[in-house]
Amino acid sequence: GIENYSRYLTDREPGEQPATLIDYFPDDWLLLVDESHMTLPQVRGMYNGDRARKEVLVEHGFRLPSALDNRPLRFDEFNQHIHQAIYVSATPGDYELSHSPKPAEQLIRPTGLLDPPIEVRPTDGQVDDLMEEIRQTIAKGHRVLVTTLTKRMAEDLSAYLMENGVKTAYLHSEIDTLERGDILKDLRLGTYDVLVGINLLREGLDLPEVSLVAIMDADKEGFLRSEQALIQTIGRAARHVDGRVIMYGDNVTDSMRRAIDETNRRRAIQQKYNEEHNITPQTIQKKIDDGLRSIIPQKESDKKPKLNLKKIPKDEYPALIKDLTAQMELHSANLEFEKAAELRDLIAEIRHTM
């Protein structure tokens, strides 16, 4: 490919920095980085990731050594181009804070919403306790997010909730972007009442219908239960006036304590501002749209199952239900919980018309 020869075509020395679009910007350009706690580490990792892939290709003769110089910028090279920047994040990292003499906090929301209250509960009987909380939340017409620490627990919990009649979806890494958007839309519409996930219930999820976020194994210190990760997860409950968070854990880790203290600090500032300005918090009103589906044609295989019951004799309904139930159980056994839930709803619709 052309990456073998780009160094020669641009007359660069081995290891020399490649040209990028940033080179075309004027000296006074401004960089805005959204979700900087996630974006900057990605910029840092691009060079090493690219080099690791190409070194294998070079070693086995699939690329020339010069291909290594057709690469992303190293972080220090990237920084040489940055003269002024705005980093935006609810959980800025050490780099952003060290490069911001006076960080600007934006804690007050136009809706007056507060950061959610947080409760820590023991893990003994946590599933039964969660089930009761879910039922109470659903009874109010609200939705629930549950974040687990492992894929196995997410699968088991999703299956358990479905077996107990809770309309549940499982959000995992194998779901593509379009399907992920469909699941989130269905949660808002009420097709599902509960969404279970691992590390996917964080940045970019604005779900005003969600009033309860449950964090399982909150006391297991690590990347998924770091202060930053916990604060981001807690924030998913900050779109609803009744938003709240339950952490299940037998100990309060340092990360939990810092996340709880920071959330309480922000909540106190927001509460004081509302009192001083006579503001009553209101749940965010957000239109439910088709997202990417509105601009990308839907494949036939992506469409949900539909039946025209008027064309099916009622005496065939029992056999139809039996067949659909077998399909539903097969999907459930294969951990395809979304497809199983669609068939479950279809079966319920048929039974309703019998």
Going from N- to C-terminal start, the domains of the chain cover 2-98, 118-276, 300-353
pLDDT for 234-254, tens place per residue?
999 999 999 999 999 999 999
What fold, for 2-98? Rossmann fold (3.40.50)
What is the bridge-based pairing of β-strands 143-147 and 118-121?
A: unpaired
Kindly tell me if the per-residue pLDDT of 295 is higher than 80: no
pLDDT at residue 142, as a whole number: 96
What is the bridge-based pairing of β-strands 168-171 and 143-147?
A: unpaired
Kindly tell me if the per-residue pLDDT of 224 is higher than 70: yes
pLDDT at residue 118, as a whole number: 98
Query: Which DSSP string do the residues of 140-158 spell out, in sequence order?
Result: TT-EEEEE-SSHHHHHHHH
Of 89-93, 118-122, 263-267, 276-280, minimum mean pLDDT range: 89-93
Q: How far is CA 122 from CA 109, 217, 247, 252, 258, in A?
A: 32, 9, 8, 10, 19
Mean pLDDT of 230-237: 93
Domains 2-98 and 118-276 share a fold: yes
Kindly tell me if the per-residue pLDDT of 292 is higher than 60: no
Kindly tell me if the per-residue pLDDT of 352 is higher than 60: yes
Mean pLDDT of 188-214: 85
pLDDT for 127-165, tens place per residue?
999 999 999 999 999 999 999 998 889 889 999 999 999
pLDDT, the chain, mean: 88
pLDDT for 299-331, tens place per residue?
554 555 566 677 777 778 888 888 888 888 887
What fold, for 118-276? Rossmann fold (3.40.50)
Kindly tell me if the per-residue pLDDT of 173 is higher than 80: no
Specify burial of residue 47 (Cβ count, 10 A radius: 0-12, 13-18, 19+): middle
Q: Give the model's confidence band at 36: pLDDT under 50 very low, under 70 low, under 90 confident, else very high.
A: very high
pLDDT at residue 329, as a whole number: 82
pTM of the prediction?
0.75
Residue % of the chain over a pLDDT of 90? 60
